[in-house]
Chain A
């Protein structure tokens, strides 16, 4: 146990968790440097670093690094962190490693909300799309809770209701797509694939603002989350208002997932896999929010680098690679659980 202090704020953390966090940060920094300096046009590491922070260095680097690579890489990092965080909260709240916003219909609902916004209001500012995605995700989450509420929430029932609602939301998205005009539908389809290609500083700033607002709320409630994992009664006895804390955390998880969908489109499996990797690396008993966020960022940035390095004629969207890693992991989880292991 160690206390990490910045001025009056302190976070207590395990030594190992702290070390894992540091290693992740270093790895993220190294990968970031690679992402900025590596690409089709060769720009030196120093030049690209300068260009990324806005110091003019000359014709190709200023644009390629400053306007293409840097926002793309930062979007990947921020969205990956959002997904990792969202998944970690949801898995901790449901006490189930199978829960993740992309499987229980939340991301699908966010996609429906965003597409409906594009259809009814038109392609305006990114904030409008994000608001639509948030509304869609919250509505879906509300419906899931409503449908699975029976003398309280049972996580497994909630997951099943979520899978069903995911199908409903995707059908609604398809319906909206057939009603939109061709051009808009084409744009929406491209976005629904889930990709960080062509993201600008606007996307980065929206992601950064969402994360800056939601992360402190999550961390503020992190202690309640950790205590609630020991059981509701224990948490109540320790003076935690279980209902409100759970509500706030669930809201944060849904909003993080919705914001990520608005910025990059739905990218699967990061929210499922990142918290699981974090748990194994830190060997913590319960939830590890910051490591999950860091690993999510690392995973998405790495997947995007792989997508760029692949010698294919068309660059594949990053979701193809996250699914290629994540889906076997989920199948393995199910396989283990059906052999009597922990679900």
Chain B
């Protein structure tokens, strides 16, 4: 208990450092004193302070939201599917959200970012249910290869449909490009308060349901004996994961592997206790997205690369290394 609390505090400290980096580093490096002044006592005539308060703060907040949401979503999915390779991005939930947004845009159902968010949630939910029922149920449930391939195949199918709609409709392409930039920028004019509430409430609900979920992980019979309503808990968890993944995709575009790598690392630190795992995953996910975003800002001057690209690069390697460590029977 005490070590776990210490680890959570350490994760929070890492997150604070990541926030400081995210506020200070970019096309123009700004020293931390100026950053602090911009946060506490803004001088509207100092361009450096304006960069921090206008651009970097909103970018950092979005990064924290998306990272925490993805970390928790990944941890919950892994517990639900009993599969260490479950990740909302890898399973095509992002792709489902994208397709739903594109369909809504091309049919004119949803114009404007605010209307697209609920549409993205619907797409994410449908995708989650489809991939979960194809790859994670049945006799051989929990085999990583099946789940990963179901996700890859589903993503390929959904993205080819998305792509076809986009090619046939210039106007949709233009709006979609703005939505799917896959980065933390370009959302300054959108109020993320609603998304922040969704993420906070969903994480809290995940924490509340985590004990029951952990009981299911012991085996369905054991869980039933402990009085857990298995079907209800599963449904609740899928809803929570959908909300988190949908919110993260709406806020920051498609990001893969954060939900895979962070819970994996967190499990190595805090062990199997799901509530602690969720807390550490939320903190670590936020820190990872911020660090990846900072890396993306500096590796390709004068431009930037989206946070989705740097997380895919780092996460893909972690994924391959995890595959290496699996025992044959676990595949």
Contacts and interface: CB of A to CB of B under 8 A. Distances in A.
Interface of A: 98, 103, 143-144, 147-148, 150, 154, 156-157, 159-161, 163-172, 174-175, 178-179, 268-269, 312-314, 316-317, 319-320, 323-324, 326-328, 330-331, 333-335, 337-340, 343
B115 interface: no
Contacts of B146: 334, 337-338, 343
Interface of B: 85, 134-141, 143-146, 148-150, 152-154, 156-157, 159-161, 163-164, 167-168, 256-257, 299-300, 303-306, 309-310, 312-313, 315-324, 326, 328, 331
A175 B182 CA distance: 13
A314 B315 CA distance: 36
Contact of B324 (A148, A174, A312): A148
Contacts of A103: 149, 152
Given A154-B328, A269-B156, A338 B316 contact: no
Given A167-B315, A320-B164, A338-B143, A147 B321 contact: yes
A147 B149 contact: no
A168 B317 CA distance: 7
B210 to A, nearest CB: 26
Given A171-B309, A320-B163, A338-B135, A163 B300 contact: no
Contacts of A147: 320-321, 323-324
Contact of B323 (A148, A167, A170, A174): A148
A334 B156 contact: no
Given A161-B323, A338-B137, 18 more contacts: A143-B320, A157-B324, A160-B148, A163-B152, A164-B316, A164-B319, A167-B313, A169-B316, A174-B312, A269-B156, A320-B164, A330-B156, A331-B150, A331-B153, A334-B153, A338-B134, A338-B138, A343-B145
A326 B157 CA distance: 8
Given A165-B320, A175-B300, A157 B140 contact: no
B160 A157 contact: no
B323 A327 contact: no
Contacts of A338: 134-141, 143, 146, 150
A342 to B, nearest CB: 11
- Chain B interface helix/strand/loop/mixed: helix
A166 B139 CA distance: 28
Please list the 7 inter-chain residue pairs (A to B) with the smallest Cβ-Cβ separation, ordered nearest first: A167-B316, A327-B157, A164-B320, A160-B323, A164-B319, A340-B139, A168-B316
20 contacts: A148-B323, A148-B324, A161-B324, A164-B316, A164-B319, A164-B320, A165-B320, A167-B315, A171-B309, A175-B309, A269-B156, A316-B168, A327-B160, A331-B134, A334-B134, A334-B150, A337-B146, A339-B138, A340-B138, A343-B146
Given A312-B168, A320-B163, A330 B149 contact: yes
Given A159-B149, A316-B164, A174 B305 contact: yes
Given A154-B328, A339-B140, A340-B139, A164 B317 contact: yes
Nearest to B317: A168
A160 B144 contact: yes
Contacts of B310: 171
Contacts of A144: 320
Contact of A327 (B153, B319, B326): B153
Given A147-B320, A160-B331, A334-B135, A167 B256 contact: yes
A314 B163 CA distance: 12
A178 B300 contact: yes
Given A324-B160, A327-B160, A157 B326 contact: yes
Contacts of A172: 313
Contact of A168 (B137, B148, B312): B312
Contacts of B136: 338
A175 B305 contact: yes
A174 B149 CA distance: 22
B189 to A, nearest CB: 24
A330 B160 contact: no
B323 A157 contact: yes
B299 A175 contact: yes
Nearest to A327: B157
A166 B90 CA distance: 12
A182 B150 CA distance: 35
Contacts of B331: 154, 156-157, 160
Contacts of A159: 145, 149
Contacts of B150: 331, 334-335, 338
Nearest to B141: A338
A160 B138 contact: no
Contact of A178 (B141, B303, B316, B317): B303
A165 B324 CA distance: 12
Contacts of A314: 167-168
A326 B304 CA distance: 35
Given A160-B85, A174-B309, A331 B157 contact: yes
A335 B154 CA distance: 12
Contact of B145 (A98, A175, A330, A331): A98
